[in-house]
Amino acid sequence: MSSKFPLFPEQASTLAADVDLLYFFLIAVSLFFTVLIAALVIIFAVKYRRRSENDVGADIHGSLALELLWSVIPLGIALVMFAWGAKVYLDIARPPDNAMEIFVVGKQWMWKIQHMEGRREINQLHVPIGKPVKLTITSEDVIHSFYVPAFRVKKDAVPGRYTELWFEATKPGSYHLFCAEYCGTEHSKMIGQVIAMAPAAYEEWLTGSDIAPVALSVPPAGAAAGATSGAAGAAPEGMAKAGEGVFLQKGCLACHMAAPGSLGPNLAGVFGKERKFVDGSTKVADEAYLRESILTPLKHVVEGFQPVMPTYQGQISEQELMQLIQYIKSLGQPAEGEAVNAPAQDDATTAGEES
Amino acid sequence: MEAAAAGTNYLNNGYGVTSWLLTKDHKRIAILYLISITVMFLLGSLFAVGIRVELLTPQGDFVGADTYNKLFTMHGVVMVFFFLIPSIPAVLGNFLVPMMIGARDLAFPRINLASWYIYVFGAAFSMYAMLAGGVDTGWTFYTPYSSASSNTNVIPMALGIFITGFSSILTGLNFIVTIHTMRAPGLTWFRLPLFIWAHYATSLIMILGTPVIAITILLVALERGLGIGIFDPALGGDPILFQHLFWFYSHPAVYIMILPAMGVTSEVIACFSRKRIFGYGFVAISSLAIAIFGFLVWGHHMFVSGQSVYAALVFSVLSFSVAIPSAVKVFNWTATLYKGSISFEAPMLYAMGFIGLFTIGGLTGLFLSSLGLDVHVHDTYFVVAHFHYIMVGGAIMGYQGGLHFWWPKMFGKMYPEGPARIAAALVFIGFNLTFFPQFVVGYLGMPRRYHAYPDEFQVLNVLSTAGASILALGYLLPAFYLLWSLKYGKDAGPNPWRATGLEWQTASPPPTENFESTPFVDEDAYEYGAREAHVV
């Protein structure tokens, strides 16, 4: 990033070296075949150039042995490339269990980011080094794509669903963050930085105040949105806490009570559990399922409950949704389970549509 | 034959406007297509000039962001749908498919004329969309941007593409029926020129794939116009569904562009090596294999879209499978040169350039099929470089080579060899200088469709723009000497290249009925050794 004319991107994540090694392997194979073909074409062209007007080529029809040879060898090489590429892809696709979570919402034309502890930022993502970070990504409008070249990772931000991406930064620094999926006028301005910091510095940063709570209406001026380490205001509200506010404000509590006979199911401990629906099918309650249950609640009605929940499509922002989901997830944690909810009930009664 | 050359041919058989606009002669229709796609190529190139000038500097300072977005969108739409897809099939294929198989015309001459009118009608819609302010969705029309967010002329452009698709379907249908039913006596399948095999495979993709893009693009227009929720999640639709449908056609569409160019390359290499194509059967069947495998790989455009890991694995391994028939072709062409009698007229220079550029284009395709690597380079300039190596380095090199090769047949005049060789060299050098740096800047991480970009990418972009200006010269030069040759070129005679193939056994330009009597074929394609005795 310092050089004026770099030819190779910086490696700043644990995955980067693996991707680059695969890249070098493919370059080596490509170089070999390109040079081979070019050399043969040039050598034949010179050696067998037409010397007299009426020369004709030798009467050669083909060779089964050669055809097999140059089918099987490329096939073998291709399979190696496939297997190697698949291995790297699976590593990229599967976040480690201990990854810390950060939430990303793309919108025309900015990246809105919220940390678990509540701190928010725009077009900047602060992360600690040496710790796996998992991003849960969505979009408020069109498809965007979250791309950090120095980490060799990219994932589309798709409206209406969650995607995830993970990385572990290896050295402190500031790295390009690009939107890689064309999204309209200011697509090339939907950029920013990922700032990797030593863990202690990150912890300290987390307690600082947001860039500005109303920053959502600020024009997407990538670099200009600085002002990060002014550790002024009060520590931000955690996402789960903010989600509790949304839960109360949207009136979810009216139906999702802890008491038996409540219209909707008790939400304590729901996250990560298998849910059984009125049509007999089942599904594990992950983030995508919780999201679906809030936006299109009648899609999967939990066994034992009536299809009475109204949709919240269009009435809740992506950011509020993520907070709400964090709140519901936090209800699943053993210590809080008891405090917020009625005594544990068995499956038949806890089952129900979410929200 | 001498009498025919002196007498009437398809060009002087009527000069009135209606004799052209109502012609049912496949050769005249080919000329109509040649003129139309040349206009579209010029237009698409002008958009490219705008793009390359803008990217000279990192700041978006030549045109505004919206204008830039429209430039790359219209560059893509015009080049893909109105130039590359019709290029070789509608011009050279139209002219040559009947002649190569010894037929009088295509099976359905009226449908052939209709396909040109449909093309013009579709082009008119897209011209309207451009003149009325343009479109900014990218040629890929990704939803929900195209259906819900963009405020440009998406609907007329979508209708233009929808309409033009039918021209492609009808051309494919015509070729398939013609090749099945109208081959000259003795011309069995495995005696067919490889150009015909390539067009047969291309036609299969045209008739099987094009309806899917037609429906898809129509659904975008319907969602946009009437709010029917198909792709927009806000209306209960699925934006990823669009990508599946779009690439189900648009990946095979790449083979619509490259297969005919491979056909041209086979003809040219055989002729200028004066030798049978090595492994004829493998080259023929590999065209079909590419057409079929090509339908099974669309998901490799979606490795970072959030599709399931298992789907990604399947699409990756299938994508690698396309590499095998492609490699087989390249090795066979190279082996054809072995012990040939090689000369270096312009068509041969284009064909040799094609081998080199297609090899690089194909190999870099492996980078994109490799899952873990694609995550990084997806939607960067690496992809832009890769597909330009295939579509420009491959398809347009093939088209240019073919145009030079059959120009004497089409117009009865020789183009001047010196300038043509210079043009071929300029294209090869300019092309590499334009697009090779884009592999580097892509791996560095520069995303595609960026109006402005970080400073450190500038040097490579300047190289690219410099290359593009050389490339532009290489494309402009033939426009002058080819037109010049129509009046001042030497008479070509029936077979200036002493090539095999039925099209060379009749006058240049050919008579309206192509052949004085139905030819009889009693030998394989490319029997250069055997043919030497009765060269015309």
Q: Identify the residue with better confidence: B431 or A222.
A: B431
Strands (E), A158-205: 163-167, 173-179, 192-197
For residue A59, pLDDT over 90 is answered with no
Q: Can you name the residues that pair with A124 across neighbouring β-strands?
A: A193
Distance from CA of A335 to the nearest CA of B (A): 34
A91 domain residue, yes or no: no
Nearest by CB to residue A185, choosing from B66, B306, B355, is: B66
A142 domain residue, yes or no: yes
The total of other beta-carbon atoms located within 10 Å of residue B530's CB is 14
Q: Is the dihedral of CA B180, B181, B183, B189 positive or negative?
A: positive
Domain count, chain A: 2
Note whether A181 contacts B313, CB cutoff 8 Å: no
Q: Can you name the residues that pair with A159 across neighbouring β-strands?
A: A139
A232 domain residue, yes or no: no
Q: Does A289 touch chain B (CB under 8 A)?
A: no
Give A155's contacts in chain B (Cβ within 8 Å). Answer: 304, 306
Give B332's contacts (C-beta < 8 A, 6+ positions apart): A62, A67, B277, B278, B279, B282, B283
Give B337's contacts in chain A (Cβ within 8 Å). Answer: 40-41, 44-45, 48
> Phi and psi for B416 in degrees, rounded to 5?
-75, 125
Same-domain pairing of A218 and A246: no
Note whether A9 contacts B445, CB cutoff 8 Å: yes
Q: Does A184 touch chain B (CB under 8 A)?
A: yes
To the nearest 10°, report the CA torsion of B191, B195, B196, B197: 80
Same-domain pairing of A282 and A335: yes
Same-domain pairing of A248 and A196: no
Q: What is the CATH number of the domain that holds A342?
A: 1.10.760.10
Structure tokens at B229: 């929720």
SS3 assignment, position A309: coil
The tens place of each residue's pLDDT in chain B, 536 residues long, gives 444 445 789 999 888 999 999 999 999 999 999 999 999 999 999 999 999 999 999 998 999 999 999 999 999 999 999 999 999 999 999 999 999 999 999 999 999 999 999 999 999 999 999 999 999 999 999 999 999 999 999 999 999 999 999 999 999 999 999 999 999 999 999 999 999 999 999 999 999 999 999 999 999 999 999 999 999 998 889 999 999 999 999 999 999 999 999 999 999 999 999 999 999 999 999 999 999 999 999 999 999 998 899 999 999 999 999 999 999 999 999 999 999 999 999 999 999 999 999 999 999 999 999 999 999 999 999 999 999 999 999 999 999 999 999 999 999 999 999 999 999 999 999 999 999 999 999 999 999 999 999 999 999 999 999 999 999 999 999 999 999 999 999 999 999 999 999 999 999 999 999 999 999 999 999 988 765 544 44
A83 domain residue, yes or no: no
Query: In terms of CA atoms, which chain A residue is nearest residue B312?
Result: A86
CA distance B307 to A106: 19
Note whether A33 contacts B363, CB cutoff 8 Å: yes
A20 domain residue, yes or no: no
Q: What is the CATH number of the domain that holds B384?
A: 1.20.210.10
Give A5's contacts in chain B (Cβ within 8 Å). Answer: 456, 459
Q: What is the CATH number of the domain that holds A199?
A: 2.60.40.420
Give B52's contacts (C-beta < 8 A, 6+ positions apart): B434, B464, B465, B468, B469
A134 domain residue, yes or no: yes
Nearest by CB to residue B305, choosing from A45, A55, A156, is: A156
Out of A172, A190, A222, pick the residue that ends a domain.
Answer: A222
Domain count, chain B: 1
Tokens 């099929």 belong to which residue?
B369
For residue A235, pLDDT over 80 is answered with no
Same-domain pairing of A245 and A302: yes
ipTM of the assembly?
0.92
Q: Can you name the residues that pair with B447 across neighbouring β-strands?
A: B380
Out of A188, A222, A256, pick the residue that ends a domain.
Answer: A222
For residue A5, the model assigns a pLDDT of 80
For chain A, the 3-state helix, strand and coil shares in percent, each to the nearest 5, are 35, 20, 45
Q: What is the pLDDT of residues B278-317, one digit of tens each?
A: 999 999 999 999 999 999 999 999 999 988 999 999 999 9
Report the run of H or E that residue B483 belongs to, with start and end: helix B458-488
Same-domain pairing of A333 and A286: yes
Instruction: Give residue B259's domain range.
Output: 2-534
Q: Does B273 touch chain A (CB under 8 A)?
A: yes
Burial A122-144 (b: 16+ CB within 10 A, else e): bbbbbbbbeebbbbbbbbbbbbb
Note whether B355 contacts A143, CB cutoff 8 Å: no
Give A316's contacts in chain B (Cβ within 8 Å). Answer: none
Q: Identify the residue with better confidence: A171 or A345.
A: A171
At residue B130, what is the residue type? M
Q: Does A142 touch chain B (CB under 8 A)?
A: yes
User: What is the DSSP secondary-structure string of B174-235?
Assistant: HHHHHHHH-PPTT--GGGS-HHHHHHHHHHHHHHHHHHHHHHHHHHHHHHHHH---SS-GGG
Out of A193, A222, A251, pick the residue that ends a domain.
Answer: A222
pTM above 0.80, yes or no: yes
Q: Does B279 touch chain A (CB under 8 A)?
A: yes
CA distance B384 to B369: 15
Q: Does B320 touch chain A (CB under 8 A)?
A: yes
> Phi and psi for B521 in degrees, rounded to 5?
-110, 125
Same-domain pairing of A187 and A255: no
Note whether B340 contacts A57, CB cutoff 8 Å: yes
3-state secondary structure B335-363: HHHCCCCECCCHHHHHHHHHHHHHHHHHH
Instruction: Give residue A246's domain range.
Output: 239-350
A116 domain residue, yes or no: yes
A45 domain residue, yes or no: no
Tokens 């009216």 belong to which residue?
A254
Q: Does A182 touch chain B (CB under 8 A)?
A: yes
Tokens 């398939």 belong to which residue?
B176
